[in-house]
Amino acid sequence: MHRKIRWKVIIMLVKTSSKRCRTDNLEWLLNEIGVKDISEVQGLSVSEFIERYSQKHFSNICLDRLLEVGYVYVPEGEKLVAELPITTRLKNILLRNDVYILSDIVKYSREDIMKFRNLGEETMKELEGVCEQEGVRFISLHEIEDRMLEVKFSDRQLTKMFHLNILHSEDSLNVTDEEVECLIQLDKGMLKKIEKMQKLCENHGNK
């Protein structure tokens, strides 16, 4: 019985060691995330890499290796979350939500951020503090609502608009057919609201 357990432990250790050795191999890591040639990732910013490969297994380890060898770069003036003087808790929360550069937090609304797993009140305050210090600002749905003239939207509708980058009433004038289709799929009444907002914007512009 003890021998069986011992062999199981040995096998597990061998597998773990083998896996660790492979994750040190950049070529193997790239293959795991679906990259066949280094030229596919060479010259990408951290944010671009995350946007393309964050859903792939080992993408975070691969990113670390690419940063080490200089194939992926951090834009000038930006800071990696891993290098910020913040708690390990906040660091892990941000990385788990694909925020590797602090400014990438703006892809989330305040309401989105507050739903991050393990993000309590104190950690939220810490995040707000470091963002203020670094000149990064994320917005709330209520701020967006205030910019939409007299047109009223639900939080669900505002969330969709946020992720389509419709942040001001004037943005309604430049929505694409594809974006309108996305809004209609969420709520058929969105078309009338967008059209109303467009008319209000045009009227404001003519004054």
What are the structural domain ranges in the chain?
12-69, 81-134, 141-206
Letter string b/e over residues 152-166, b meaning 16 or more CB atoms within 10 A of that residue's CB:
ebeeebbbbbbebeb
Per-residue pLDDT reduced to its tens digit, 65-96: 999 999 999 999 898 999 999 999 999 999 99
**Which structure tokens are listed for 132?**
């203020």
pLDDT value for 15: 47
Joined together, the tokens standing for residue 108 give 């989330």
At residue 58 the predicted structure's pLDDT band, cuts being 50, 70 and 90, is confident
Query: What CA–CA distance (Å, rounded) separates 59 from 62?
Result: 5
The answer to whether the beta carbons of residues 140 and 119 sit under 8 Å apart is no
Whether 102 has a pLDDT exceeding 90, the answer reads yes
Decide if pLDDT at 6 tops 90.
Answer: no
CB count, 10 Å around CB of 183?
21
Is the confidence at residue 1, as pLDDT, over 70?
A: no
**Which pLDDT band holds residue 23 (cuts at 50, 70, 90)?**
low
Tell me the three state secondary structure of residue 150: coil
Q: Which residues contact 155 (CB under 8 A, 6 or more apart)?
A: 111, 141
Question: Is a pLDDT exceeding 50 seen at residue 132?
Answer: yes
Tokens of 195: 């059209």
User: What is the reported pLDDT for 21?
Assistant: 47
| Nearest C-alpha neighbor of 93 from the set 82, 107, 106, 78 | 82
State how far the Cα of 202 lies from the Cα of 163, in Å rounded to an integer.
24
Question: What is the second-level CATH architecture of the domain 81-134?
Answer: Orthogonal Bundle (1.10)
Model confidence at 124: pLDDT above 80 = yes
Among 138, 163, 142, CA closest to 154: 142
Residues facing residue 170 across a β-bridge: none
Q: Nearest-CA neighbor of 183 among 202, 162, 152?
A: 162
Residue 7 clears pLDDT 80, i.e. is over it: no
The predicted-structure confidence for 136-176, as pLDDT tens digits, reads as follows 999 999 999 999 988 999 999 999 999 999 999 999 999 99
Q: How far is CA 102 from CA 130, 134, 135, 159, in A?
A: 9, 8, 10, 21
176 burial via Cβ count (<10 Å: 0-12, 13-18, 19+):
exposed
